């Protein structure tokens, strides 16, 4: 199998629970959820957790919630802070320490045709994503794929 060639594989899925996402969750051993620090995203998190539980029950009992990463965090608003606090209260240590702050560089990078790591290597967003990558590697150890 392909998994023998890699220590870790990441699959970036669309934010909807369509067929592609369900198939990815069925094959995965873990899921990392990016969560916008917005009220509606917080409400959607409950729906996602229910879906993950259904997938565990019916298709992939070994599926684990490896982490939640807070994104689009706006340091200027109390709202972002409150959403992050509620997520940390509800999920505890599952929430990564790294928080991805909202920055204009994320909008500029695709226009330039470059990834954020190349477009603005010293920006707070780039620094945060590098920190998150280290945190993910420390937390998520290689496991057997769900289908083996």
In a domain, 17, yes or no: yes
CA distance 16 to 13: 8
Residue 134 lies inside a defined structural domain of this protein: no
Q: What is the CATH number of the domain that holds 12?
A: 3.40.50.300
pLDDT value of position 142: 60
pLDDT of 14:
85
The verdict on residue 124 lying in a domain is no
> Is residue 37 one of the residues assigned to a domain?
yes
Q: Which long-range contacts (CB under 8 A, 24 or more apart) does 117-125 make?
A: 125/100, 125/101
pLDDT (0 to 100) of residue 56: 96
Name the pTM for this structure: 0.87
Instruction: Give the domain range for residue 97.
Output: 2-102
Report the distance separating Cα 85 and Cα 88, nearest Å. Answer: 5
Total structural domains within the chain: 1
In a domain, 111, yes or no: no
> Which pLDDT does position 100 carry in this prediction?
97
Count of CA atoms in the C-beta half-sphere (13 A) of 27: 12
Spatial CA neighbour of 120 closest among 137, 105, 101: 105
pLDDT in tens, the chain (148 residues): 677 787 778 889 988 888 999 999 999 989 999 999 999 998 889 889 999 999 999 999 999 999 999 999 999 999 999 999 999 999 999 999 999 999 999 999 999 999 999 999 999 999 999 999 999 988 887 655 554 4
């Amino acid at each position: 199998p392909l998994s023998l060639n890699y220590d870790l594989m990441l699959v970036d899925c669309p934010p909807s629970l369509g067929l592609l996402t369900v198939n990815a969750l069925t094959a995965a051993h873990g899921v990392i959820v990016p969560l916008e620090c917005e009220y509606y995203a917080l409400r959607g998190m409950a729906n996602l957790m229910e879906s993950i539980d259904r997938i565990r029950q019916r298709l992939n009992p070994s599926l684990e919630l490896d982490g939640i990463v807070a994104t689009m965090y706006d340091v200027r608003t109390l709202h972002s802070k409150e959403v992050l606090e509620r997520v940390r209260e509800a999920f505890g240590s599952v929430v990564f320490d790294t928080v991805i702050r909202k920055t204009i560089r994320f909008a500029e990078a695709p226009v330039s045709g470059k990834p954020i790591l190349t477009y603005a290597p010293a920006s707070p967003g780039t620094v945060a994503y590098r920190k998150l990558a280290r945190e993910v590697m420390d937390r998520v150890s290689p496991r057997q794929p769900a289908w083996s």
